Amino acid sequence: MEADIVIVGSGFFGLTIAERCANELGLKVLIVEKRSHIGGNAYSEADPKTGIEVHKYGAHLFHTSNERVWEYVNRFTSFTPYVHKVYTNHRGVVYSMPINLGTINQFFGAAYGPEEARALIQEQAGELSGKDPENLNDKGISLIGRPLYEAFIKEYTGKQWQTDPKELPASIISRLPVRYNYDNRYFNDTYEGLPTEGYTAWINKMVEHPNIEILTDTDFFDESQPYSKAALVGKKPVIYTGPLDKYFDYSQGALSWRTIDFETEYPECGDYQGTSVMNYADAEIPFTRIIEPRHFHPERDYPTDKTIIMKEYSRFAEANDEPYYPINSDKDREALLEYRRLAEQEDGVLFGGRLGTYQYLDMHMAIGSALTAFDNKVAPHFRDGKPLN
């Protein structure tokens, strides 16, 4: 196919640009994807042993307050009424998260009303008052007081970063939400839910257009295939959603990421934990949380005698690991400025998505930024000959 535009990466950023280019501009679109499936990290599939839908790259919950994104995604899928809630195990007792009046009363063995609880937390948070927090540990104490911080945040954060919070910069957290009511909805957004037929059905629907061709198992940097960086850049408009540092051959150094190891188990029961996500707040438990995907779809006819769970272990990503969360150290930020400058100068290539911009983006943010990039860059390029980047 003689493509008008080549999109590198089939996550939500690339898929949204592809869909808009085909449906809105009538362009012929070629998607080049390194993995053997499309959908990026939102990809899910039925676990062969149980039939339960599992999110291969970590649990994905859709939520947004962006009207335009909500309208857009509903063109491809409906959403279930699933409302996300998270619990945490601390010293063998289960509390609801984010910290709310229920958590506070259970933790202190009390029956405080909102005002009493607020006053207590304010007093406890005043412990380090007058001092500028020098590390994440002090920051946590100054935000919610030592007792709640040490129970629910300190060791969990230490596990996520494999670093003592006293050694972590205060800037990692700007706020720690505490709700002085019993609302334990995890997300504050107007809309949330899970795609009724699953993520893969949604993803496939986005690229149904006959003008969209997809090449999986195809690496943009592999020069033995005809759609490589060397063959295309400067000759075809390219949307690049792979890693920013990789595109420039790590000339400014590798940007650092955290990754997650998933340990899958099949406990001998139909329901292991009664809920989809159980965090483990304490340092002595090596994993950060357990996901039980059957609970994402209580409406489905899943087997009642089998289940599947994943234990999550967080660590720094090495060269061959999946990059999941940008670390954003001072060194990363310096390199990032240079990479962004290089990206701007790269004619005919638009960098986007979480890897292409080195940013954590929720799905609604990846889709929203793709819609904006389409309006401001891609459509003007094809309609009026404006530069793509």
Residues with catalytic function? 175, 179, 258, 289, 312, 360, 362
The closest of 322, 248, 365 to 41, measured between CA atoms, is 322
Of the listed pieces 27-35, 150-158, 267-275, 341-349, which binds Na ion according to CB under 5 A? 341-349
Question: Which residues are at the interface with ligand FAD (CB under 6 A)?
Answer: 8-14, 32-35, 40-42, 57-62, 219-221, 241-242, 260, 324, 353-355, 361-364, 366
The closest of 241, 220, 298, 316 to 53, measured between CA atoms, is 298
Nearer to ligand FAD, 237 or 242 (CB): 242
Residue 346 binds which entry of Na ion, ligand FAD, none, with Cβ cut-offs from 5 to 8 Å by kind?
Na ion
Q: Is 346 in the site for Na ion (CB under 5 A)?
A: yes
**Which residue sits closest to ligand FAD, CB atoms considered?**
40
Q: Which of 29, 31, 349, 371 binds Na ion (CB under 5 A)?
A: 349
**Euclidean distance between CA atoms 332 and 30, whole angstroms:** 32
Minimum gap (Å) between residue 352 Cβ and ligand FAD: 7
Asked if the peptide bond before residue 98 counts as cis, ω within 30 degrees of 0, the response is yes
Minimum gap (Å) between residue 237 Cβ and ligand FAD: 16
x/- mask, Na ion, residues 222-251, rule CB under 5 A, reads: ------------------------------
Of the listed pieces 34-42, 206-214, 303-311, 347-355, which binds Na ion according to CB under 5 A? 347-355
Instruction: For residue 101, give every residue at least 6 positions away whose Cβ sits within 8 Å of its Cβ, in sequence order, or none.
Output: 112, 114, 117, 179, 180, 181, 182
Nearer to ligand FAD, 30 or 178 (CB): 30
**Euclidean distance between CA atoms 130 and 126, whole angstroms:** 9
Nearer to Na ion, 275 or 389 (CB): 389
Dihedral of CA atoms 172, 277, 190, 258 in degrees, nearest 10, equals: 30
Residue 9 binds which entry of ligand FAD, Na ion, none, with Cβ cut-offs from 5 to 8 Å by kind?
ligand FAD
CB-based contact 291:312 (threshold 8 Å): yes
Residue 366 binds which entry of Na ion, ligand FAD, none, with Cβ cut-offs from 5 to 8 Å by kind?
ligand FAD
Of the listed pieces 103-111, 232-240, 339-347, 352-360, which binds Na ion according to CB under 5 A? 339-347
Residue 389 binds which entry of Na ion, ligand FAD, none, with Cβ cut-offs from 5 to 8 Å by kind?
Na ion
Minimum gap (Å) between residue 309 Cβ and ligand FAD: 16
Minimum gap (Å) between residue 284 Cβ and ligand FAD: 24
**Euclidean distance between CA atoms 371 and 363, whole angstroms:** 12
3-state secondary structure of 245: helix
Minimum gap (Å) between residue 39 Cβ and ligand FAD: 7
DSSP string, 116-164: HHHHHHHHHHGGGTTS---SHHHHHHHHH-HHHIIIIIIHHHHHHHTS-
**Which residue sits closest to Na ion, CB atoms considered?**
389
**Euclidean distance between CA atoms 364 and 352, whole angstroms:** 14
Length of the chain: 389
Residue 8 binds which entry of Na ion, ligand FAD, none, with Cβ cut-offs from 5 to 8 Å by kind?
ligand FAD
Residue 34 binds which entry of ligand FAD, Na ion, none, with Cβ cut-offs from 5 to 8 Å by kind?
ligand FAD
Task: For the chain, report the end-to-end CA distance as a whole number of angstroms.
Answer: 24
DSSP string, 283-347: TTSSSSEEE-GGGG-TTS---SS---EEEEEEEE--TTSPP-EE---HHHHHHHHHHHHHHHHST
CB-based contact 140:176 (threshold 8 Å): yes
Residue 326 binds which entry of Na ion, ligand FAD, none, with Cβ cut-offs from 5 to 8 Å by kind?
none
Q: What are the residues binding Na ion (CB under 5 A)?
A: 346, 349, 389
